[in-house]
Amino acid sequence: MYYNKEYFRQFAPKIRMSEENLDLLEGFMPRFSPEEAGSIARYLVDPSIPSAEKRERMEKLAEEENGGIYCVLIYMAAAGYTHEKYREKGMPDEVFYNTFNCLPEKMETHKKHFGIWGNVAPTWPISHLNMTLFRIGRLGYAFVPAPHEPLLAGEKVLAAEKEPYVYMHISDNEKLVGCAESIQEARAFFRKFYPEYGDCLYMTNTWLLDPRLGEILPEESNIMQFQKIFNIYDRYDCRPEVLKRVFGAEKENLDAYEPSSSLARAVIAYLKSGKELGRGLGYTKF
């Protein structure tokens, strides 16, 4: 029902997918008949099927040549069914389209880092399709339902086993601005549609919260301003993650990189000086 060029053409600009991406996807459409694509798409949004099983199926598809792109084709069609559910709940189209920006986002990141089209996160949109992850403004918000392992900051319990919380995602390829506004909007959205997630803990674990970035970035940079939104309660070394986020992939020889920004140059100099970088964990101040 949604696996057709007409639907793709009207959907793509709303999720900020470029003409170039759309043309590419259309070129791969013959891989699936509308019946086959429709059946996989309906399977992906079926709430009775566990997410792990859905991920496994899409991982297999991603292993095919052009697999990342084949997955995007299916997600484009599956999003149509998710949109029906948004409408049933009276949720704003703006949130729906912003959430599905995850499709072009991960294609563009692949192109940026590897020079060819692909998809750096082939199974990620399963959460978006099943309405457990929403992008609101600049940031993404994923539900962590209870019960879960208690979330601890040292001795302090941030979220006990029975308290649901929200894990925040920072999407790629757009300046890191408007984050405080995004959190306020997200809380308002969840208070209305998922009240248990309106006033709970919002946290994240990302290289952008490593306090050591303060040694190499100016205070007015977006990343350092972003850090101010959080109580950062822990950090750990994770050089591969930082190299992946800055350069796309980890290389053992730091001289093999060609840094193209002040941050990229500073990261190399910092690591060469014998220091380490990694991830920080933080929860929002409001």
Ligand X SMILES: CC(C)(COP(=O)(O)OP(=O)(O)OC[C@H]1O[C@@H](n2cnc3c(N)ncnc32)[C@H](O)[C@@H]1OP(=O)(O)O)[C@@H](O)C(=O)NCCC(=O)NCCS
Residues 6+ apart with CB under 8 A from 149: 161
| Residue of 176, 201, 238, 271 that binds ligand X (CB under 6 A) | 176
CB of 236 to ligand X, least distance (A): 14
| Residue of 4, 39, 132, 221 that binds ligand X (CB under 6 A) | 221
132 binds ligand X (CB under 6 A): no
CB of 74 to ligand X, least distance (A): 24
Segment lying near ligand X (by CB under 6 A), choices 5-13, 15-23, 63-71, 214-222: 214-222
CA distance 213 to 206: 12
Segment lying near ligand X (by CB under 6 A), choices 48-56, 153-161, 165-173, 192-200: 165-173
CB of 257 to ligand X, least distance (A): 10
CA distance 4 to 37: 10
CB nearer ligand X, residue 57 or residue 110: 110
CA distance 252 to 273: 15
262 binds ligand X (CB under 6 A): yes
CB nearer ligand X, residue 184 or residue 262: 262
| Residue of 24, 263, 268, 271 that binds ligand X (CB under 6 A) | 263
173 binds ligand X (CB under 6 A): yes
239 binds ligand X (CB under 6 A): no
222 binds ligand X (CB under 6 A): yes
Determine the 3-state secondary structure of 204 from DSSP.
Answer: strand
CA distance 271 to 231: 25
**Cα 154 → chain centroid:** 27
CA distance 174 to 138: 8
245 binds ligand X (CB under 6 A): yes
CA distance 17 to 11: 9
CA distance 89 to 111: 36
Structure tokens at 172: 């790629």
CB of 42 to ligand X, least distance (A): 31
CB of 276 to ligand X, least distance (A): 17
Whose CB is nearest to ligand X? 263
Measured CA angle at 150 (ends 146, 155), to 5 deg: 155
Backbone torsions φ then ψ of 85, nearest 5 degrees: -70, -40
175 binds ligand X (CB under 6 A): yes
Report which DSSP code applies to 137: T
CB of 23 to ligand X, least distance (A): 25
CB of 116 to ligand X, least distance (A): 18
Determine the 3-state secondary structure of 128 from DSSP.
Answer: helix
**What residue ranges bind ligand X (CB under 6 A)?**
170, 172-176, 206, 208, 217, 221-223, 245-246, 261-264
